[in-house]
């Protein structure tokens, strides 16, 4: 998080990644001095494809003024994504309102996702809806996220599964089994320290395979439904932010390949 976007691109390229999720704050900083065309060129030179812009936060249960800003940000990011050839924008649900019900969450989420998809679709950009497993989020599980995405019923709206949030929010493996694999737009992988779920925060994330998350089981269920598109490492551990981003990228890629059986660790199969 202390590196700029150019460093992210260079570190991802040096580590041998194919794709990059672009952190929106870094994107805005980059565009103060550069154009989307410059970014597209820098990615091409590095041999990296942009996969998503991450993210538009708290899209639901907002004031009219906040919602207007979210719509404007969606249009701005969709235009940039189109110009650089980036297929996805990650969007994150808002906080659970006081005395909110599941029905209210579904209704509000479907409404807002449809509004934002109306903005992003003309640019050829899709929305990846990411549930968060923390107690104050309005959408804490893949189970509920699936219901919402299916209710939206648009090809341009799909799911993000993050191993940390899957575990912390008590999502079920049955929710993976019931998914259409084409509706899983983004898979975030990470691990976590061995703490009670209610104590886990992003700062407790670890390299994949070095904690207690059920990554192998999640992979088995992905294999079962035929998912094998991409995986993106997302850690958010402050301890790693002060380290050399090139070293972090290499360690992240190696750890991910080991735990999933990819690259030199592959033993056949869909991965």
Residue 111 near residue 77 (C-beta atoms within 8 A):
no
- Cα 177 to Cα 42, 145, 173, 226: the distances in Å are 39, 14, 6, 10
What digits encode the pLDDT tens for the residues 243-270? 999 999 999 999 999 999 998 888 755 4
Identify the pLDDT of residue 270: 47
Domain 5-262 part of CATH 3.40.50.11720:
no
**Closest Cα to residue 238, out of 265, 202, 269?**
202
DSSP category for residue 243: S
- pTM comes to 0.96
* Domain boundary assignment for the chain: 5-262
Rounded Cα gap, residues 114 and 71, in angstroms? 11
Rounded Cα gap, residues 212 and 218, in angstroms? 13
Identify the pLDDT of residue 263: 87
pLDDT at residue 76 is higher than 70: yes
What digits encode the pLDDT tens for the residues 88-97? 999 999 999 9
Rounded Cα gap, residues 193 and 43, in angstroms? 34
When the pLDDT of each residue in the chain is averaged and rounded to a whole number, the result is 97
**Closest Cα to residue 249, out of 96, 25, 21?**
21
Identify the pLDDT of residue 271: 45
What digits encode the pLDDT tens for the residues 150-180? 999 999 999 999 999 999 999 999 999 999 9
Residue 136 sits at φ, ψ, to 5 deg, of -95, 0
Neighbours of 162 (CB within 10 A): 23
Identify the pLDDT of residue 198: 93
Helices (H) then strands (E): counts for the chain = 11, 9
């Amino acid at each position: 998080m202390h590196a700029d976007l150019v460093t992210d691109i260079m570190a991802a390229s040096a580590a041998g990644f194919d794709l990059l999720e672009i952190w929106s704050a870094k994107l805005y900083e980059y565009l103060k001095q550069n154009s989307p065309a410059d970014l597209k060129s820098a990615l091409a030179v590095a041999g990296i494809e942009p996969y998503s812009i991450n993210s538009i936060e708290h899209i639901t249960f907002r004031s009219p003024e906040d919602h207007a800003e979210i719509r404007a940000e969606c249009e701005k990011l969709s235009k940039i994504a189109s110009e650089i050839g980036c297929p996805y924008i990650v969007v994150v649900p808002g906080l659970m309102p006081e005395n909110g019900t599941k029905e209210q969450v579904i209704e509000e989420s479907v409404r807002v996702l449809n509004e934002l998809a109306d903005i992003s679709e003309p640019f050829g950009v899709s929305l990846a809806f990411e549930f968060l497993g923390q107690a104050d989020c309005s959408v804490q599980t893949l189970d509920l996220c699936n219901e919402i995405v299916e209710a939206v019923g648009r090809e341009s709206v799909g799911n993000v599964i993050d191993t940390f949030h899957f575990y912390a929010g008590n999502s079920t493996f049955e929710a993976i089994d019931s998914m259409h694999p084409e509706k899983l737009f983004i898979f975030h992988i990470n691990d976590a320290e061995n703490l009670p779920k209610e104590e886990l925060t992003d700062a407790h994330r670890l390299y994949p395979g070095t904690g207690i998350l059920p990554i192998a089981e999640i992979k088995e269920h992905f294999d079962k439904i035929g998912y094998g598109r991409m995986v993106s490492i997302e850690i958010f551990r402050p301890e790693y932010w002060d380290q050399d981003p090139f070293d972090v990228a290499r360690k992240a890629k190696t750890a991910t390949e080991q735990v999933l059986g990819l690259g030199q660790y592959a033993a056949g199969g869909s991965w």
